[in-house]
Amino acid sequence: MFTLGRLIRSTSTSNIIAKRPLRLQRVSFVRPFTHIPYSSMATSKINKWVDENQSHLIDRLAKAVGIPSVSGNIAYIKDVERMAEFLIEQLTELGVKAETRPVGKHQLDGKEVDLPPVVIGHIGNDPNKKTLLIYGHYDVQPALKEDGWKFDPFTLTVDPEGSGKLYGRGSTDDKGPVLGWLNALEAHKETGTELPVNLKMIFEGMEENGSDGLDKFIESEKDKFFAGVDCMCISDNYWLDTKTPCLTYGLRGINYYEIRISGPDRDLHSGAFGGAIHEPMTDLISLMSKLVSPQGEILIPGVKDLIAPVTKDEQEKFEAIHFEMKDIHDAIGGDVTLTNDTVKTLMGRMRNPSLSLHGIEGAFSAVGSKTVIPCSVKGKFSIRLVPNLGIKNTTDLVIKYVNDEFMKLGSKNKCQVVLTHGGEPWITDPNHYSFRAAHKATETVWGQAPDYTREGGSIPITLEFANILGVNICLLPVGRGDDGAHSTNEKLDTSNYIQGTKLFAEYMHNLAAEQA
């Protein structure tokens, strides 16, 4: 299934770039930047080496994808450990002082087992260089061929139609980006190029299952392994579309709630008791209908008042994003957006809070008709959090509002509002020197300036690193918006994998140039 001949003939990086319809009229080449000579000479050699060794780099990804490191299933526990060992071997060969560290135990499928170890490594300790910390994860989501995959999900498969897409679980989330850093290291080693920064790295094996234990590890190593870190880079997100590279400087957080309504001590027959009792489902539907309007407005008093006003810099960044309404219409399979204004749509996805209703537990949902009155039900909803809307102050508003509205119903049932889990929002300074370095690297490698985006979803560990280490974190994605992370037929385009390797190398050299 994994054949390189077709790939090299039909999907070389130069051919892909030449054929892709980049919107060149939007690309500006009139803002040149100047590397220090050392950097420009070095990255030229590195890029040449990367182009000449594509098959070798893709083979590395094939080996990684071939290890089914599913962290959420005890049947794959040895494979997760094997993936950590694979990284240790690869890093050691590249001159990195690497090791695994335990991070505790957890319950998995009813058994207490060791958490997957973190892989840490460092190379370089020059006090005159910046120290960059990189993060990634080596575990993946579950995947079975019968789920609807075109190919075996744990065999890296080059699209036989010649598109250059590399199909396989973990190809884009997150093994491809992790190996992009290893590729960049190898390029430096093989070309005899001095690494322009000191590099520290941490790769975890539990990201797809909650990152259990990692926050405690970061805290315990704050003044040890992580000492001296100047800035951090994470590549675990994606472009907004399929054409425009981006840098990400913010993530929405999340609060997940349940409204629990209980009444009689057993399910009842509606023919015998309908019209005689307060029905839990009726109360729940009434309450959930008062949380959010059909236009997406959060109806909980006080939430809107907490949202930070849009700054001029923010407005300009959103207006500059290369985004068309067709992009989102294609992504969702139709035109059901709240507005056709691109900036309002982007802010709705990235900057502003949202409230979504997710489901009702305890209600009859099977095929057919059943005249049951459920004795207790749970309504599930979440609020995506933004700066100023934190876990606690949002929860205080939610609990008060739902309880007040329940009292208005005059019901004899019982109501409880529960926060089941939460993650704070994160935002950083996009004008930091790390972002400047990433911006220049993107212009050099992709031939266009990046969009500046904020993610609508959450990467909770980002906030842990930011809060504990106090460093600026640049989210520098490799994959495209259609890569299908967590989905069937997950893929990474060959061009993004190869150019992503160059991007990381260029970024590191730009960090050195910023220092100079």
The set of catalytic residues is 139, 207
**Using CB atoms within 10 A of its CB, is residue 81 exposed (0-12), middle (13-18) or buried (19+)?**
middle
Nearest to 293 by CA among 352, 354, 336: 354
Question: Cα-Cα-Cα-Cα dihedral of 258, 105, 203, 57, to 10°?
Answer: -100
Q: Is 137 annotated as a binding residue?
A: yes
263-278 residues labelled b (16+ CB within 10 A) or e (exposed): bbeeebeeeeeeeeee
CB atoms closer than 10 angstroms to residue 325: 14
Token look-up 């500046």 returns: 452
**Structure letter (DSSP) for residue 264:** S
Instruction: Pinpoint the alpha helices (H) of 94-156.
Output: none
| 12 annotated ligand binder | no
For the record, the structure tokens of 184 come out as 């960049």
188 annotated among ligand-binding-site residues: no
Q: Tell the burial category of 306 from Cβ atoms under 10 Å away from its Cβ (0-12, 13-18, 19+).
A: middle
Say if residue 329 carries a ligand binding annotation: no
Say if residue 173 carries a ligand binding annotation: yes
Residue 458 annotated as lining a ligand binding site: yes
Q: Is the dihedral of CA 342, 346, 349, 355 positive or negative?
A: negative
* Amino acid letter, 187: A
- What is the rounded distance in angstroms from the CA atom of residue 288 to the CA atom of residue 365? 18
The response to whether 236 counts as a known ligand-binding position is yes
CA atoms within 13 A on the CB side of 85: 7
Residue carrying the six token digits 């006080």 = 302
Question: Cα 188 to the chain's mean position, in Å?
Answer: 28
CB atoms within 10 A of CB 356: 13
Measured CA to CA, the distance from residue 353 to residue 456 in angstroms comes to 9
Question: Has 486 been labeled as part of a binding site?
Answer: yes
Residue whose entry in the numeric block shows the structure tokens 């335990």: 102
Q: How far is 403 from 478, CA to CA, in rounded Å?
A: 45
Query: Helices 494-515 and 54-65 meet at what angle, rounded to 10?
Result: 110
- Looking from the CA of 437 toward its CB, the CA atoms found within 13 Å total 31
Cα 355 to chain centroid, rounded: 20
**3-state class of 496 per DSSP?**
helix
Q: How far apart are CA 17 and CA 447, in angstroms?
A: 10
- Helix/strand/coil for 436: helix
Residue ranges at the known binding site for Mn(2+): 137, 173, 208, 236, 486
Residue ranges at the known binding site for substrate: 236, 269, 371, 384, 458, 486
Residue ranges at the known binding site: 137, 173, 208, 236, 269, 371, 384, 458, 486
